[in-house]
Protein backbone atom coordinates (compact mmCIF):
# COMPACT_ATOMS: atom_id res chain seq x y z
CA UNK A 1 0.00 0.00 0.00
CA UNK A 2 1.25 3.44 -0.92
CA UNK A 3 1.44 6.39 1.46
CA UNK A 4 -0.98 9.20 0.75
CA UNK A 5 -0.15 12.87 1.22
CA UNK A 6 -2.06 16.13 1.38
CA UNK A 7 -0.10 18.07 -1.23
CA UNK A 8 -2.10 21.27 -1.23
CA UNK A 9 -5.08 23.06 0.27
CA UNK A 10 -7.66 25.63 -0.82
CA UNK A 11 -10.10 27.02 1.70
CA UNK A 12 -13.00 29.44 1.53
CA UNK A 13 -14.64 29.83 4.91
CA UNK A 14 -16.14 32.32 7.32
CA UNK A 15 -12.53 33.28 7.99
CA UNK A 16 -10.13 34.79 5.46
CA UNK A 17 -8.55 31.43 4.65
CA UNK A 18 -8.27 31.66 0.86
CA UNK A 19 -4.71 32.99 1.11
CA UNK A 20 -2.46 30.00 1.74
CA UNK A 21 0.36 32.27 2.96
CA UNK A 22 -1.67 33.26 6.02
CA UNK A 23 -2.89 31.09 8.89
CA UNK A 24 -5.71 32.47 11.03
CA UNK A 25 -3.78 35.64 11.90
CA UNK A 26 -6.75 37.91 11.14
CA UNK A 27 -9.85 36.47 12.81
CA UNK A 28 -13.32 37.72 11.85
CA UNK A 29 -15.54 37.69 14.93
CA UNK A 30 -19.22 37.06 14.29
CA UNK A 31 -22.15 37.53 16.62
CA UNK A 32 -24.85 36.23 14.31
CA UNK A 33 -25.79 32.57 14.42
CA UNK A 34 -25.63 32.23 10.65
CA UNK A 35 -22.21 33.25 9.40
CA UNK A 36 -21.23 33.76 5.75
CA UNK A 37 -18.10 32.69 3.93
CA UNK A 38 -15.58 35.48 3.25
CA UNK A 39 -15.53 35.82 -0.53
CA UNK A 40 -12.28 35.89 -2.43
CA UNK A 41 -12.21 37.94 -5.64
CA UNK A 42 -14.01 35.32 -7.74
CA UNK A 43 -13.26 37.02 -11.06
CA UNK A 44 -9.55 36.41 -10.49
CA UNK A 45 -10.40 32.74 -11.03
CA UNK A 46 -13.63 32.57 -13.07
CA UNK A 47 -14.77 34.74 -15.99
CA UNK A 48 -17.35 37.29 -14.76
CA UNK A 49 -19.89 36.08 -17.35
CA UNK A 50 -19.66 32.51 -16.08
CA UNK A 51 -19.56 33.55 -12.43
CA UNK A 52 -22.81 35.52 -12.76
CA UNK A 53 -24.75 32.36 -13.52
CA UNK A 54 -23.09 30.24 -10.86
CA UNK A 55 -24.47 29.41 -7.44
CA UNK A 56 -22.24 30.43 -4.52
CA UNK A 57 -21.50 26.77 -3.81
CA UNK A 58 -20.20 26.30 -7.33
CA UNK A 59 -18.06 29.44 -7.14
CA UNK A 60 -16.62 28.48 -3.76
CA UNK A 61 -15.95 24.95 -5.00
CA UNK A 62 -14.25 26.01 -8.22
CA UNK A 63 -12.11 28.71 -6.62
CA UNK A 64 -10.95 26.63 -3.66
CA UNK A 65 -10.14 23.84 -6.13
CA UNK A 66 -8.10 26.23 -8.24
CA UNK A 67 -6.23 27.51 -5.19
CA UNK A 68 -5.40 23.89 -4.30
CA UNK A 69 -4.35 22.99 -7.84
CA UNK A 70 -2.14 26.09 -8.09
CA UNK A 71 -0.39 25.24 -4.87
CA UNK A 72 0.15 21.64 -6.02
CA UNK A 73 1.41 23.05 -9.33
CA UNK A 74 -1.02 20.90 -11.31
CA UNK A 75 -3.25 21.67 -14.30
CA UNK A 76 -5.32 18.55 -13.86
CA UNK A 77 -5.97 15.54 -11.65
CA UNK A 78 -6.93 11.90 -12.14
CA UNK A 79 -10.17 12.17 -10.18
CA UNK A 80 -12.49 14.69 -8.55
CA UNK A 81 -14.39 13.60 -5.43
CA UNK A 82 -16.77 16.03 -3.78
CA UNK A 83 -18.67 15.92 -0.52
CA UNK A 84 -21.72 18.09 0.07
CA UNK A 85 -24.57 17.76 2.52
CA UNK A 86 -27.12 19.85 0.66
CA UNK A 87 -25.56 20.81 -2.68
CA UNK A 88 -26.54 24.19 -4.08
CA UNK A 89 -29.40 24.59 -1.64
CA UNK A 90 -30.32 28.13 -2.71
CA UNK A 91 -31.21 26.88 -6.16
CA UNK A 92 -33.22 24.01 -4.67
CA UNK A 93 -35.18 26.53 -2.61
CA UNK A 94 -35.60 28.86 -5.57
CA UNK A 95 -37.02 26.08 -7.74
CA UNK A 96 -39.43 24.78 -5.08
CA UNK A 97 -40.59 28.34 -4.40
CA UNK A 98 -41.15 28.95 -8.10
CA UNK A 99 -43.14 25.72 -8.47
CA UNK A 100 -45.43 26.68 -5.57
CA UNK A 101 -45.66 30.45 -6.10
CA UNK A 102 -46.22 30.27 -9.87
CA UNK A 103 -48.28 27.09 -9.82
CA UNK A 104 -45.78 25.16 -11.95
CA UNK A 105 -45.61 27.82 -14.66
CA UNK A 106 -42.91 30.15 -16.03
CA UNK A 107 -40.09 28.02 -14.66
CA UNK A 108 -36.52 28.25 -15.93
CA UNK A 109 -34.10 25.31 -15.89
CA UNK A 110 -31.03 26.93 -14.30
CA UNK A 111 -32.06 26.52 -10.63
CA UNK A 112 -33.13 22.92 -11.31
CA UNK A 113 -29.82 22.11 -12.98
CA UNK A 114 -27.80 23.72 -10.19
CA UNK A 115 -29.86 21.98 -7.51
CA UNK A 116 -28.49 18.60 -8.60
CA UNK A 117 -26.04 17.50 -5.90
CA UNK A 118 -23.21 16.71 -8.31
CA UNK A 119 -23.28 20.18 -9.88
CA UNK A 120 -20.17 21.39 -8.08
CA UNK A 121 -18.18 18.26 -8.96
CA UNK A 122 -19.44 18.42 -12.54
CA UNK A 123 -18.61 22.12 -12.89
CA UNK A 124 -15.09 21.59 -11.54
CA UNK A 125 -14.63 18.80 -14.12
CA UNK A 126 -15.88 21.17 -16.83
CA UNK A 127 -13.51 23.94 -15.68
CA UNK A 128 -10.52 21.59 -15.67
CA UNK A 129 -11.71 19.52 -18.62
CA UNK A 130 -11.14 16.52 -16.38
CA UNK A 131 -12.64 13.34 -17.84
CA UNK A 132 -11.50 11.18 -14.92
CA UNK A 133 -13.39 9.54 -12.07
CA UNK A 134 -15.98 11.89 -10.60
CA UNK A 135 -18.05 11.10 -7.50
CA UNK A 136 -20.20 13.17 -5.16
CA UNK A 137 -21.01 12.01 -1.64
CA UNK A 138 -24.05 13.46 0.11
CA UNK A 139 -24.20 11.91 3.55
CA UNK A 140 -24.64 14.64 6.17
CA UNK A 141 -21.57 15.13 8.38
CA UNK A 142 -19.55 12.35 6.73
CA UNK A 143 -19.94 13.66 3.17
CA UNK A 144 -16.35 14.92 3.16
CA UNK A 145 -14.98 11.87 4.98
CA UNK A 146 -16.62 9.60 2.39
CA UNK A 147 -14.80 11.50 -0.35
CA UNK A 148 -11.57 11.18 1.65
CA UNK A 149 -12.10 7.44 2.17
CA UNK A 150 -12.70 6.93 -1.56
CA UNK A 151 -9.56 8.89 -2.54
CA UNK A 152 -7.46 7.06 0.03
CA UNK A 153 -8.60 3.70 -1.36
CA UNK A 154 -7.57 4.66 -4.91
CA UNK A 155 -4.25 6.25 -3.97
CA UNK A 156 -3.18 3.51 -1.57
CA UNK A 157 -3.87 0.90 -4.26
CA UNK A 158 -2.07 3.11 -6.82
CA UNK A 159 -5.12 3.37 -9.08
CA UNK A 160 -4.57 7.13 -9.32
CA UNK A 161 -1.74 9.56 -8.62
CA UNK A 162 -3.42 12.90 -7.88
CA UNK A 163 -6.98 13.30 -6.66
CA UNK A 164 -8.85 16.51 -5.89
CA UNK A 165 -11.21 16.11 -2.95
CA UNK A 166 -13.29 18.63 -1.09
CA UNK A 167 -16.31 19.52 0.96
CA UNK A 168 -18.69 22.33 0.05
CA UNK A 169 -21.98 23.69 1.39
CA UNK A 170 -23.76 27.02 1.13
CA UNK A 171 -26.44 28.81 3.15
CA UNK A 172 -30.02 29.01 1.93
CA UNK A 173 -32.48 31.49 3.43
CA UNK A 174 -35.41 29.11 3.77
CA UNK A 175 -33.24 26.29 5.07
CA UNK A 176 -31.84 28.65 7.68
CA UNK A 177 -35.29 29.85 8.69
CA UNK A 178 -36.75 26.38 9.18
CA UNK A 179 -33.66 25.15 11.03
CA UNK A 180 -34.10 28.05 13.44
CA UNK A 181 -37.67 26.92 14.06
CA UNK A 182 -36.61 23.39 15.01
CA UNK A 183 -33.75 24.69 17.17
CA UNK A 184 -30.92 23.35 15.07
CA UNK A 185 -29.66 26.92 15.05
CA UNK A 186 -29.12 28.56 18.44
CA UNK A 187 -31.84 30.90 19.66
CA UNK A 188 -29.53 33.42 21.33
CA UNK A 189 -26.44 35.24 20.11
CA UNK A 190 -23.41 33.65 21.72
CA UNK A 191 -20.47 35.25 19.95
CA UNK A 192 -17.42 33.27 18.88
CA UNK A 193 -15.79 32.67 22.24
CA UNK A 194 -18.76 31.59 24.29
CA UNK A 195 -19.97 28.96 21.84
CA UNK A 196 -18.99 26.01 24.01
CA UNK A 197 -20.49 27.56 27.16
CA UNK A 198 -23.84 28.38 25.62
CA UNK A 199 -25.92 25.66 27.37
CA UNK A 200 -28.54 25.83 24.61
CA UNK A 201 -29.63 23.59 21.78
CA UNK A 202 -28.44 24.09 18.23
CA UNK A 203 -25.33 25.42 16.56
CA UNK A 204 -24.06 28.46 14.71
CA UNK A 205 -24.48 27.68 11.00
CA UNK A 206 -21.70 28.40 8.52
CA UNK A 207 -20.78 27.67 4.93
CA UNK A 208 -17.64 27.17 2.88
CA UNK A 209 -15.53 25.02 0.61
CA UNK A 210 -12.30 23.24 1.47
CA UNK A 211 -10.52 21.39 -1.32
CA UNK A 212 -7.27 19.43 -1.28
CA UNK A 213 -4.98 17.69 -3.71
CA UNK A 214 -4.13 14.25 -2.35
CA UNK A 215 -1.32 12.27 -3.90
CA UNK A 216 0.67 9.11 -3.40
CA UNK A 217 3.79 11.09 -4.27
CA UNK A 218 5.23 13.44 -1.71
CA UNK A 219 6.12 16.90 -2.96
CA UNK A 220 7.75 20.08 -1.68
CA UNK A 221 4.33 21.45 -0.92
CA UNK A 222 3.13 18.41 1.10
CA UNK A 223 1.32 19.23 4.32
CA UNK A 224 0.83 15.88 5.98
CA UNK A 225 0.39 12.15 5.48
CA UNK A 226 -3.10 10.66 5.76
CA UNK A 227 -3.02 7.43 7.72
CA UNK A 228 -6.69 6.58 7.90
CA UNK A 229 -10.30 7.69 7.96
CA UNK A 230 -13.21 5.73 9.39
CA UNK A 231 -16.90 6.58 9.49
CA UNK A 232 -19.73 5.18 11.62
CA UNK A 233 -23.44 5.68 10.98
CA UNK A 234 -24.15 5.20 14.68
CA UNK A 235 -22.00 5.20 17.79
CA UNK A 236 -23.08 5.10 21.41
CA UNK A 237 -21.56 7.76 23.60
CA UNK A 238 -20.40 5.14 26.11
CA UNK A 239 -18.67 3.18 23.34
CA UNK A 240 -16.87 6.18 21.86
CA UNK A 241 -13.68 5.89 23.89
CA UNK A 242 -13.36 2.18 23.09
CA UNK A 243 -13.96 2.86 19.42
CA UNK A 244 -11.25 5.56 19.38
CA UNK A 245 -8.80 3.21 21.05
CA UNK A 246 -9.68 0.42 18.60
CA UNK A 247 -9.25 2.79 15.65
CA UNK A 248 -5.80 3.88 16.86
CA UNK A 249 -4.78 0.30 17.63
CA UNK A 250 -5.40 -0.68 14.00
CA UNK A 251 -2.51 1.66 13.22
CA UNK A 252 -0.37 0.49 16.15
CA UNK A 253 -1.04 3.67 18.08
CA UNK A 254 -2.39 4.42 21.54
CA UNK A 255 -3.93 7.59 22.99
CA UNK A 256 -0.47 8.62 24.24
CA UNK A 257 0.83 8.78 20.67
CA UNK A 258 -1.58 11.55 19.71
CA UNK A 259 -0.01 15.01 19.74
CA UNK A 260 -3.24 16.85 19.02
CA UNK A 261 -6.94 15.97 19.12
CA UNK A 262 -9.15 18.17 16.93
CA UNK A 263 -12.82 18.06 17.89
CA UNK A 264 -15.91 19.23 16.03
CA UNK A 265 -17.73 20.76 19.06
CA UNK A 266 -20.49 23.08 17.96
CA UNK A 267 -21.87 24.11 21.32
CA UNK A 268 -25.11 22.11 21.08
CA UNK A 269 -25.89 21.19 24.66
CA UNK A 270 -27.60 17.97 23.53
CA UNK A 271 -24.78 16.56 21.45
CA UNK A 272 -21.47 18.05 22.63
CA UNK A 273 -21.46 15.28 25.21
CA UNK A 274 -19.81 13.07 22.58
CA UNK A 275 -16.94 15.53 22.27
CA UNK A 276 -16.70 15.98 26.02
CA UNK A 277 -16.44 12.21 26.48
CA UNK A 278 -13.59 11.98 24.00
CA UNK A 279 -11.97 15.07 25.43
CA UNK A 280 -11.85 13.38 28.86
CA UNK A 281 -10.37 10.22 27.34
CA UNK A 282 -7.52 12.32 25.93
CA UNK A 283 -7.10 14.61 28.95
CA UNK A 284 -3.28 14.65 28.66
CA UNK A 285 -3.37 15.50 24.96
CA UNK A 286 -3.46 19.02 23.50
CA UNK A 287 -6.91 19.64 22.00
CA UNK A 288 -8.35 22.07 19.47
CA UNK A 289 -11.76 23.05 18.10
CA UNK A 290 -12.81 25.14 15.12
CA UNK A 291 -16.56 25.50 14.60
CA UNK A 292 -16.53 28.85 16.44
CA UNK A 293 -14.51 30.05 13.43
CA UNK A 294 -16.14 28.12 10.56
CA UNK A 295 -19.66 27.58 11.82
CA UNK A 296 -21.42 24.22 11.58
CA UNK A 297 -22.40 22.74 8.22
CA UNK A 298 -22.50 19.26 6.74
CA UNK A 299 -18.95 19.57 5.41
CA UNK A 300 -17.55 21.72 8.23
CA UNK A 301 -15.16 18.87 9.06
CA UNK A 302 -13.33 19.70 5.81
CA UNK A 303 -12.39 22.97 7.57
CA UNK A 304 -11.13 20.85 10.47
CA UNK A 305 -9.07 18.85 7.96
CA UNK A 306 -7.68 22.12 6.58
CA UNK A 307 -6.85 23.25 10.12
CA UNK A 308 -5.02 19.99 10.88
CA UNK A 309 -3.07 20.25 7.61
CA UNK A 310 -1.94 23.79 8.40
CA UNK A 311 -0.98 22.94 11.99
CA UNK A 312 1.13 19.97 10.92
CA UNK A 313 2.85 21.88 8.14
CA UNK A 314 3.55 25.05 10.15
CA UNK A 315 3.96 23.26 13.50
CA UNK A 316 1.98 26.03 15.12
CA UNK A 317 -1.27 25.78 17.03
CA UNK A 318 -3.09 29.12 16.83
CA UNK A 319 -4.22 30.40 20.24
CA UNK A 320 -7.76 30.89 18.94
CA UNK A 321 -8.39 27.16 18.38
CA UNK A 322 -6.95 25.82 21.66
CA UNK A 323 -9.46 23.82 23.66
CA UNK A 324 -7.27 23.01 26.66
CA UNK A 325 -4.00 24.22 28.16
CA UNK A 326 -1.95 21.11 27.44
CA UNK A 327 1.24 21.96 25.56
CA UNK A 328 3.10 19.88 23.02
CA UNK A 329 6.58 20.42 21.63
CA UNK A 330 5.53 19.25 18.18
CA UNK A 331 2.44 18.16 16.25
CA UNK A 332 3.36 14.95 14.52
CA UNK A 333 0.28 12.80 14.90
CA UNK A 334 -3.16 14.40 14.82
CA UNK A 335 -6.55 12.75 15.37
CA UNK A 336 -9.79 14.40 14.25
CA UNK A 337 -13.23 13.43 15.50
CA UNK A 338 -16.55 14.77 14.27
CA UNK A 339 -20.26 13.95 14.45
CA UNK A 340 -23.49 15.87 13.89
CA UNK A 341 -26.50 15.52 16.16
CA UNK A 342 -25.24 12.20 17.45
CA UNK A 343 -25.02 10.52 14.05
CA UNK A 344 -22.45 10.05 11.30
CA UNK A 345 -19.27 9.99 13.34
CA UNK A 346 -15.76 10.00 11.89
CA UNK A 347 -12.15 9.57 12.95
CA UNK A 348 -9.39 10.90 10.70
CA UNK A 349 -5.72 10.29 11.42
CA UNK A 350 -2.96 12.50 9.98
CA UNK A 351 0.76 12.60 10.58
CA UNK A 352 3.78 14.68 9.73
CA UNK A 353 5.54 13.66 6.53
Partner 1 sequence: MGKGVAITGMGIISAIGNNVAENYQALINANKGISRVEKIKTNHANDIMVGEIAYTNANMEAQLKLPKSHNYSRTALLGAIAAKEAVKNAAIKDISQYKTGLVSATSVGGMDMTETYFYDYLNNPEAQKYIDAHHAGDSTQKIAQQLNIEQSLVTTISTACSSAANAIMLGARLIKAGKLDRVIVGGADCLSKFTINGFKTLMILSDTYNTPFDEHRKGLNLGEAAAFLVLESDKVVEAENKTVLAYVKGYGNANDAFHQTASSDHGDGATLAMQQALTVAGYAPGDIDYINAHGTATGNNDLSEGRAIIRVFGDQVPDFSSTKAYTGHTLAAAGAIEAVYSVLALQNNVIYPNLNFNTQMKEFNITPQRTLKEKALKTVLSNSLGFGGNCSTVIFSKDQ
Residues of this chain that interact with partner 1 (CB under 8 A) are 80, 85-87, 92, 95-97, 99-100, 103-105, 107-109, 112-113, 115-119, 121-123, 125-126, 128-140, 142-143, 146, 149-150, 153, 157, 174, 177-179, 181-182, 230-235, 239, 243, 298, 343-344
Among the listed residues 208, 249, 209, 204, the one whose alpha carbon sits nearest the alpha carbon of residue 230: 249
Kindly state the smallest distance separating residue 249's Cβ from partner 1, in Å.
16
173-181 vs 89-101: helix crossing angle, rounded to 10: 90
Kindly state the smallest distance separating residue 261's Cβ from partner 1, in Å.
20
Q: What single-letter DSSP state applies at residue 51?
A: H
Kindly state the smallest distance separating residue 178's Cβ from partner 1, in Å.
5
Q: Toward partner 1, which CB reaches closer, 219 or 230?
A: 230
Q: Toward partner 1, which CB reaches closer, 1 or 21?
A: 1
Kindly state the smallest distance separating residue 264's Cβ from partner 1, in Å.
16
Kindly state the smallest distance separating residue 216's Cβ from partner 1, in Å.
15
Q: Toward partner 1, which CB reaches closer, 234 or 314?
A: 234
The kind and range of the H/E element at 202 are none
Kindly state the smallest distance separating residue 164's Cβ from partner 1, in Å.
12
Contact 301, 167 (CB under 8 A): yes
Q: Toward partner 1, which CB reaches closer, 95 or 223?
A: 95
Q: Toward partner 1, which CB reaches closer, 9 or 213?
A: 213
Which residues, 6 or more positions from 47, have their beta carbon under 8 angstroms from its beta carbon?
none
Q: Toward partner 1, which CB reaches closer, 110 or 221?
A: 110
Residues 140 and 152: their CA atoms lie apart, in Å, by: 20
Q: Toward partner 1, which CB reaches closer, 166 or 286?
A: 166
Q: Toward partner 1, which CB reaches closer, 239 or 245?
A: 239
The kind and range of the H/E element at 287 are strand 287-289
Contact 262, 335 (CB under 8 A): yes
Kindly state the smallest distance separating residue 326's Cβ from partner 1, in Å.
29
Kindly state the smallest distance separating residue 330's Cβ from partner 1, in Å.
31
Kindly state the smallest distance separating residue 312's Cβ from partner 1, in Å.
25
For the stretch 131-134, contacts whose Cβ atoms lie closer than 8 Å and that sit 24 or more positions apart, written own/partner, are 132/77, 132/78, 132/79, 132/80, 132/160, 133/78, 133/79, 133/80, 133/81, 133/160, 134/79, 134/80, 134/81
Residues 224 and 138: their CA atoms lie apart, in Å, by: 26
Among the listed residues 123, 114, 146, 291, the one whose alpha carbon sits nearest the alpha carbon of residue 231: 146
Contact 272, 296 (CB under 8 A): no
Q: Toward partner 1, which CB reaches closer, 21 or 100?
A: 100
SS3 224: strand
Among the listed residues 195, 175, 207, the one whose alpha carbon sits nearest the alpha carbon of residue 302: 207
Contact 251, 214 (CB under 8 A): no
Among the listed residues 277, 270, 269, 213, the one whose alpha carbon sits nearest the alpha carbon of residue 244: 277
Amino acid sequence: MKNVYINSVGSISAQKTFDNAAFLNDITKYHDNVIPAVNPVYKDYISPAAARRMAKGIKMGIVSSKIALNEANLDNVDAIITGTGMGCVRDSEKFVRAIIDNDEQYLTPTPFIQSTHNTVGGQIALELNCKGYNFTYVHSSISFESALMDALLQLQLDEAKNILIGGVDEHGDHTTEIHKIINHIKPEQVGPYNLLNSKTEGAVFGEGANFFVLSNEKSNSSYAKITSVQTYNTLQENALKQQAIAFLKEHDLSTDDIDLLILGNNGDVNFDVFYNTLSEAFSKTPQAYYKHLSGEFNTASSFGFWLASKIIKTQTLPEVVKLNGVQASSYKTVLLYNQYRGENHSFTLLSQC
